[in-house]
Amino acid sequence: MTDKQNEGTSQCLPKRTPEHSPQRILALAPHPDDLEIGCGGTLAEHAARGDEVHIFIATFGDVGGAADIRKAEQQLAADILGVHCIHWGEFRDTMLPNQQQDLMIKLESIIQQVKPDIVYVNHSEDTHQDHRILAKVAHSVTRYVPNVLAYETPSTTTFEPTAFMGINNVLQLKLKALSAHASQLERTHIRLNIIEIALATVHFRGMQSKLSCAEAFMPIRMLL
CATH number reported for the structural domain that contains residue 121 in this entry: 3.40.50.10320
Whether residue 6 is contained in a domain is answered as no
The residues of the chain scoring below 50 in pLDDT are: 1
Q: Rounded to two decimals, what is the model's pTM?
A: 0.92
Q: Give helix then strand counts, H and E, for the chain.
A: 7, 7
Q: What share of the chain is helix, strand, coil (3-state, %, to 5)?
A: 45, 20, 35
Whether residue 12 is contained in a domain is answered as no
The whole-angstrom separation of Cα 112 and Cα 67 is 27
Q: In degrees, to the nearest 5, what angle opens at C-alpha 118 toward C-alphas 71 and 222?
A: 140
- Report helix, strand or coil for 196: helix
Which residues have a Cβ under 8 Å from the Cβ of 145 and sit 6 or more positions away?
111, 116, 117, 118, 119, 221
Whether residue 3 is contained in a domain is answered as no
Whether residue 4 is contained in a domain is answered as no
Whether residue 56 is contained in a domain is answered as yes
| Residue span of the structural domain in which 171 resides | 22-221
Whether residue 17 is contained in a domain is answered as no
Residue (of 96, 93, 92) closest to 132 by Cα position: 96
φ and ψ at residue 16, rounded to 5 degrees = -110, 140
The whole-angstrom separation of Cα 111 and Cα 68 is 26
pLDDT score of 14: 72
Structural domains counted in the chain:
1
The whole-angstrom separation of Cα 2 and Cα 12 is 20
What does the pLDDT look like over 22-81, one tens digit per residue?
999 999 999 999 999 999 999 999 999 999 999 999 999 999 999 999 999 999 999 999
Whether residue 9 is contained in a domain is answered as no
Question: Position 167: which residue type?
Answer: I
Cα 194 from chain centroid (whole Å): 16
Q: In degrees, to the nearest 5, what angle opens at C-alpha 93 toward C-alphas 90 and 95?
A: 105
CB 86 within 8 A of CB 98: no
pLDDT score of 20: 76
Whether residue 15 is contained in a domain is answered as no
pLDDT score of 116: 98
pLDDT score of 17: 62
